[in-house]
Amino acid sequence: MKKLMLGNEAVARGAYEAGVLVATAYPGTPSTEVTEYIANYSDIKSQWSVNEKVALEVGIGSAIAGARTVVSMKHVGLNVAADPLMTVSYTGINAGLLIVVADDPSMHSSQNEQDTRYYGIFAKIPVLEPSNSQECKDYVKLGLEISEKYDTPVILRLGTRVSHSQSLVELKERNEVGLKSYDYNPSKYISAPINMRKRRVLVDERLLNLEKEAESISINEIEYNSKKIGIITSGVAYNYAKDVVLDASFLKLGMTYPLPTNKIAEFINSCDTVYVFEELEPITEQKIRSMGYNVIGKEVFPISGELSCEILRKVLLNEIKEVLPPFEGLPQRPPVLCPGCHHRGPFYILKKLKLHVAGDIGCYTLGGFAPLNAIDTTICMGASVGMAHGFEQARGIDFAKKSVAVIGDSTFWHSGVSGLIDIVYNKGHSTVIILDNSVTAMTGHQENPSTGKTLSGEDTPVIDFEALGKSIGIRRTRVVDAYDLMELEKVIKEETNAEEPSLIITKRPCILKKGIKFDFKTYVIDENNCNGCKLCLKIGCPAISFDGKIARINTALCVGCGLCKDVCKFSAIDIEVKQ
Amino acid sequence: MNIVIAAVGGQGAVLTSKILGTLAQNIGKDVKVSEVHGMSQRGGSVIAYVRFGDNVYSPVVEKGTADILLAFEMLEGARYIEYLKENGTLIVNTQRINPMPVITGEMMYPDDLDDKFKNLSINYIPVDALSIAKSAGTIKAVNVALIGVLAKNSSIEKDEWIKAIKDTVPEKFLELNLNAFEMGYRLK
Ligand code: SF4
Ligand code: SF4
């Protein structure tokens, strides 16, 4: 039976069919759905971990204990997990360990672009790259086999277009491989120098064997057509190439590290001109150049952003498709915080108080854009807390009194918590605001330690920020309703002024969270009282707009949070109770 | 067949691409569907691609090659017009949703889009899909109302469209959506 599947869904299917028993992840676009789909298979024990490092550590434990395991994350998540990654390369695994990493060329939803193949090279572990959903499924199985055959973790590199496109997949039955026996083997699994010096040699031997494997493995495939043009490519770039130049010859690399050098040489020697068409960094190209061959690559293809048919068409065929003239000067439509979003109130007040705000990664990063404009910096998951302390270290306590860190609940558990301990320990005075909307919203509403539910929907303890603050020595902890602007302003003023670290927790569930019911009320503009001052527009609620004279509320969008009412100085915003 | 769906995040572009993908599979075609998740779902501008035929490689539609641009909003139709091939079909919901720069008064919503579309060498089909969806029983069915219009303008059997909707839309919302489809299909 064939099924139309998202690449990520096909990875999950592959895990199921390959007899995987454990799956862990931290959500991150474009990788999130891998684990969401795996959670639908009850034969696999799956979980959200608090961050990618923990996810990989759980995965390593489970693989060494004998269960085929899949760990998933996005490219920047692998930075967090890099520490255990480097060492598990040495210890090896027992049952198969597949690390699924989704890159995001063009940064559709990420803070940077990274090429995960570098981690494969860095850690000396193989990298596989599927180009469609069928291959996603097949390469999961193959990856786990390679993992077990060579006693190595394997990286499955996806990209936005492979993760988030759907194509047809042939479904098969699950192969119950069961648990492998667990062997007590300290010289392999204890990463002390005395053991790892010996393992280091094995890692390099393994790599040589993997190079041989790369020559014969079926997923490194040559397809000869006209030999005038040869294209060496992988992943989604293969599809773009196939669409543009059907009659060229192809070397499609399913394994992009280590590379099959003999096969590459054979291919280059048989074709007149050879192009290397790879997304992001010139990794294959550089390897080929180091072999002494001249190929055409990044001097004509862009190194950043997604590749496309257009790019190849222009370079190879010198062809530019006629397109309809674009419409000039159209207003952009950037993403915005939803109507009624819990983050809007805190940002409105931070802006009003003119505070320096160290921001973090999540929906609330949108508070950095117009009209809220309430964030100074954003670097990576969990960085806000440490950065706020850095502000103080650089500019002193008076600056600390004019600055705060804001971080979401999920992000706080991910890696903000260690920054907070650092502030207390180093006698900082920062104010940290945890925007607690009780869900991992940005990636599509996943559970986390604040939600009281596990990935599979089971009840679990809600971990309490207040108690945590207390236990690490924070004496000032305040909990505020995120919709109560007056109280927010008062508390933020008091806490930023205090000469000790403080924790403010703003509470209200994300309005898109499943099962959240709002009162059936909306707000409307009282046309007689509205004098068109536009003050209410400053909160950036998409439900409010200006009609040229007065403000208007779109009742289809309004969820009745009441923020705009508190902002209006002329009492022009009224409650309207819906039936 | 290349179809581009242009929408505002939250309008149901993903479900629409699923319905079209299922349709293509049901009629025995190779098919690829591609969309971007994440940031774009918070009311931002979103685009999804559906391609089907005997052999489909790229999951993305090239500019200037879309047979159909299915736009859920006027401004989004204008934004992605370059995807449409000459004499391609633009089916656009005439609803207007103000983006943030317009809400804050920084920019004006262009009000000459209708005229501009009329002047292009394309098959222009404006549809008041919001009204259709409302009378079908839910404003959320704008997307399926537009699919109705698309179905009417395609050579694929009506029954196949209905089957694809049944295969994709959750039971709970099926009837409302089938209503919206029917009303879109019967238009003009
Ligand atoms: S999804 Fe939730 S947290 Fe994100 S912008 Fe919308 S309401 Fe806010
Ligand atoms: S009450 Fe005001 S701020 Fe809240 S959702 Fe409605 S219009 Fe927006």
- CATH classification of the domain holding B166: 3.40.920.10
Write the CB contacts of A170 (distance below 8 Å, at least 6 apart in sequence): A1, A2, A134
Per-residue pLDDT band at B39 (split at 50, 70, 90): low
- On whether the CB atoms of residues A120 and A83 are closer than 8 A, the answer is no
CA-based angle A489:A490:A496, to the nearest 5?
Answer: 85
Amino acid at residue number A221: E
- On whether the CB atoms of residues A445 and A416 are closer than 8 A, the answer is no
Res A144 pLDDT > 70: yes
Measured by CA distance, the residue closest to atom 4 of ligand 1 is A363
What is the 3-state secondary structure of A124-191?
Answer: CCCEECCCCHHHHHHHHHHHHHHHHHHCCCEEEEEEHHHHCEEEEEECCCCCCCCCCCCCCCHHHHCC
Q: CA-to-CA distance for B62 and A543, rounded, in angstroms?
A: 34
- Ligand 1 center–CA A338 separation, angstroms: 5
The CB density around residue A79, as the number of other CB atoms within 10 Å, is 18
Q: B55-109 pLDDT, tens per residue? A: 999 999 999 999 999 999 999 999 999 999 999 999 999 999 999 999 888 889 9
- What is the model's pLDDT at position A513? 84
- On whether the CB atoms of residues B66 and B3 are closer than 8 A, the answer is yes
- DSSP structure class, residue A412: I
Greatest Cα pair distance in chain A: 82
Tell me, yes or no, if the two domains A220-322 and A523-575 fold the same way: no
Choose one of A564, A566, A568, A573 to mutate for the ligand 2 pocket test, by most ligand atoms within 8 angstroms of C-beta.
A564
Contact A327 B84 (CB under 8 A): no
Domain count, chain B: 1
- Ligand 1 center–CA A511 separation, angstroms: 6
Mean pLDDT over A91-114 rounds to 96
- What is the model's pLDDT at position A518? 67
- What is the model's pLDDT at position A576? 79
- What is the model's pLDDT at position A416? 97
Most B-contacting residue of A242, A330, A351, A373 (CB-CB within 10 A), to test interface: A330
- What is the model's pLDDT at position A478? 98
- On whether the CB atoms of residues A428 and A400 are closer than 8 A, the answer is yes
Per-residue pLDDT band at B38 (split at 50, 70, 90): low
| Beta-bridge partner residues of A192 | none
Q: A321-377 pLDDT, tens per residue? A: 889 999 999 999 999 999 999 999 999 999 999 999 999 999 999 999 989 999 999
- What is the model's pLDDT at position A291? 98
Instruction: Enumerate the known binding-site residues of A for [4Fe-4S] cluster.
Output: 530, 533, 536, 541, 558, 561, 564, 568
Contact B43 A335 (CB under 8 A): yes
What is the 3-state secondary structure of A233-250?
Answer: EEHHHHHHHHHHCCCCEE
| Beta-bridge partner residues of A156 | A100, A128
Contact B33 A29 (CB under 8 A): no
Amino acid at residue number A294: N
Res B40 pLDDT > 70: no
For A220-322, CATH number? Answer: 3.40.50.920
Report which of A250, A237, A207, A256 is spatially closest to residue A101, judged by C-alpha positions. A256
Phi, psi of A417 (to 5 degrees): -60, -35
Topology (CATH level 3) of domain A344-507 = Rossmann fold (3.40.50)
- On whether the CB atoms of residues A364 and A382 are closer than 8 A, the answer is no
Mean pLDDT over A495-514 rounds to 94
Task: Extract the runs of DSSP E, i.e. beta strands, from A200-272.
Answer: 220-223, 229-234, 249-253, 255-257
- Ligand 2 center–CA A544 separation, angstroms: 7
Chain A, residues 257-316, CB within 8 A of chain B, namely 308-310, 313
- DSSP structure class, residue A440: B
Q: CA-to-CA distance for B52 and B30, rounded, in angstroms?
A: 6
Tokens of A455: 């990935």
- For the Cβ of A253 lying below 6 angstroms from any atom of ligand 2, the answer is no
Tokens of B59: 């999951």
* Residue A344 half-sphere exposure toward CB, CA atoms < 13 A: 27
Residues of A with Cβ-Cβ distance to B79 under 8 angstroms: 327, 330, 333
Report which of B90, B80, B107, B105 is spatially closest to residue B153, judged by C-alpha positions. B90
- Ligand 2 center–CA A369 separation, angstroms: 18
For A523-575, CATH number? Answer: 3.30.70.20
Q: DSSP of A511-544, one letter per residue?
A: TTSTT----SEEEEE-TTT-----GGGGG--TTE
Q: Is A321 exposed, middle or buried (0-12, 13-18, 19+ CB in 10 A)?
A: middle
Residues of A with Cβ-Cβ distance to B37 under 8 angstroms: 29-30, 32-33, 109, 164, 444
Per-residue pLDDT band at A552 (split at 50, 70, 90): very high
- On whether the CB atoms of residues B159 and B26 are closer than 8 A, the answer is no
- On whether the CB atoms of residues A49 and A440 are closer than 8 A, the answer is no
Tell me if residue A328 falls in helix, strand or coil. Answer: coil
Tokens of A230: 């040869």
C-alpha distance from residue A421 to each of A250, A494, B46 (Å): 54, 21, 40
Q: A217-226 pLDDT, tens per residue? A: 999 999 999 9
Write the CB contacts of A64 (distance below 8 Å, at least 6 apart in sequence): A91, A93, A94, A182, A189
Q: A546 in contact with B at a CB cutoff of 8 Å?
A: yes
Measured by CA distance, the residue closest to atom 5 of ligand 1 is A337
Res A44 pLDDT > 80: yes
Per-residue pLDDT band at A515 (split at 50, 70, 90): confident
Average pLDDT value over all residues in chain A:
96
Q: CA-to-CA distance for A22 and B141, rounded, in angstroms?
A: 39
Q: Of A108, A323, A370, which has the smallest distance from its Cβ to B36's Cβ?
A: A108
Q: For a pLDDT cut of 90, what percent of chain A falls above it?
A: 93
Topology (CATH level 3) of domain A2-216 = Rossmann fold (3.40.50)
Q: Of A326, A332, A542, which has the smallest distance from its Cβ to B103's Cβ?
A: A542
Res B37 pLDDT > 80: no
Per-residue pLDDT band at A479 (split at 50, 70, 90): very high
Phi, psi of A533 (to 5 degrees): -75, -15
Q: B117-162 pLDDT, tens per residue? A: 999 999 999 999 999 999 999 888 999 999 999 999 999 999 999 9
Q: For a pLDDT cut of 70, what percent of chain B falls above it?
A: 98
Per-residue pLDDT band at A520 (split at 50, 70, 90): low
The CB density around residue A275, as the number of other CB atoms within 10 Å, is 23
- What is the model's pLDDT at position A516? 73
Res A579 pLDDT > 70: no
